[in-house]
Chain A
Amino acid sequence: MSDLALPTAAAPRAEARPGRLNPYLVGAGIGVLSWVVFVVVAAPIGITTAGSQIAGGVAALAVGQEAVNANAYWARHPMRLDYGTLFLIGTFFGALASSLLNRSFRFETVPAVWRERFGGSVPLRFAVAFLGGAIAMFGARLANGCTSGNGISQGLQLAVVGWVFLAAMFASGVATAWLLFRKS
């Protein structure tokens, strides 16, 4: 990975913001997409249920399918190519197509804000991203949903679980960001 070439390529592009759409318009678009999925498939937008099913498939490679089947959690969420998993795959391709089309696709190993605070070490960034992904997923499963499934899909129904999750997530996110990025 050409680590040194990235910041110079990244800096001016971040300013130019290629392909950016008004955030209110994007939010309204997600809102309208919610209308459609509520009516057409009765399946609110969500990500992490599918993620944990995929994890069951990965775990089966290591410990065998029988051990996974015996697990109380995976017994409820068996690995299969269902609606949620296909939605997740679609999300990846949607972002890929969009970023190719507006020419903002680029390989990024260390993002600018991280680099400014913690330097350009790729192993450090990867290790923290892995740890962060693991903590976020564990939390999302505990809360029975992530920013999409709980925050947006439950939040838009004014469900108590969605708003409690949003409040807890923003409070802890802002506190963590302050601890990590404050000027020492």
Chain B
Amino acid sequence: MFPLTGTNALILAPVFGFAFGWLLQRGRVTSYDVIVNQLRLRDFTVLKIMLTAIIVGGIGVLFLTDAGLARWAIRDANMGGAILGGLLFGVGMVLYGYCPGTGFAAIGTGSVHAAVGAGGMIAGAIAYAYAFDWLRANVLSWWNLGRVTLADVTGIPMLALYAGLAAFAVAFFWWLETREARAR
């Protein structure tokens, strides 16, 4: 029965997108101030949402793939692209005040500068398409590990990595919440 393809998947796409946008808005990451204050290390809302999503999502997907209900969708670890792209992305995220997902969602909450930045995203994507041949030859060809996970490169089993990540998150957020409660 699953996965659905063709028209059935297309019908569900806006439904899943709607849920994602709804969650982003309720989590307040459609706010410029919340995202920039995360990168100023003054408001940890973004990290709370992301780490929780990674841990809850990851452990679930691990069991679902083990049960044969889902398949991993791991992408190439193209290190040149990931490192250089990540560094550029961090600069852009501070200037824009959003990442692409929260930016498109923020337009829905009335953020006019998010809409202007979405125009910038279109321009950036056009620039990338024209730079693609050069980047493919010079950056993306540099160091590609293939479709590997942290379990592949460390030899530690997936479940143990998730457990370690969850333990770290609980300890870190516990410390953070205690600190934030004291500050209030």
Contacts and interface: CB of A to CB of B under 8 A. Distances in A.
A120 to B, nearest CB: 12
A61 to B, nearest CB: 11
Nearest to B84: A142
A133 B125 CA distance: 10
B183 interface: no
Interface in B1-53: 2-5, 9-10, 12-28, 30-33, 36-37, 39-41, 45, 48-53
Contacts of B72: 157
A87 B75 contact: no
A151 B116 CA distance: 24
B94 A176 contact: yes
A31 B135 CA distance: 33
Contact of B20 (A33, A39, A128): A33
B23 to A, nearest CB: 5
B119 A133 contact: yes
Interface residues of A, number: 124
Interface string A28-57: 111111111111111111011001101110
Given A152-B54, A158-B149, A144 B125 contact: no
Given A72-B132, A72-B133, A173-B91, A133 B118 contact: yes
B139 A113 contact: no
A1 B115 CA distance: 15
B60 A34 contact: yes
Contact of A129 (B20, B33, B113): B113
Interface string B90-112: 11111111111111111111111
The 9 A-B residue pairs whose C-beta atoms are closest, nearest first, are A90-B17, A27-B52, A168-B86, A94-B21, A132-B95, A143-B85, A31-B56, A136-B92, A133-B120
22 contacts: A23-B27, A26-B24, A45-B101, A48-B100, A72-B132, A90-B17, A91-B17, A102-B26, A106-B110, A111-B32, A113-B32, A113-B36, A134-B121, A135-B96, A136-B98, A139-B87, A155-B54, A158-B162, A161-B74, A164-B83, A171-B87, A173-B39
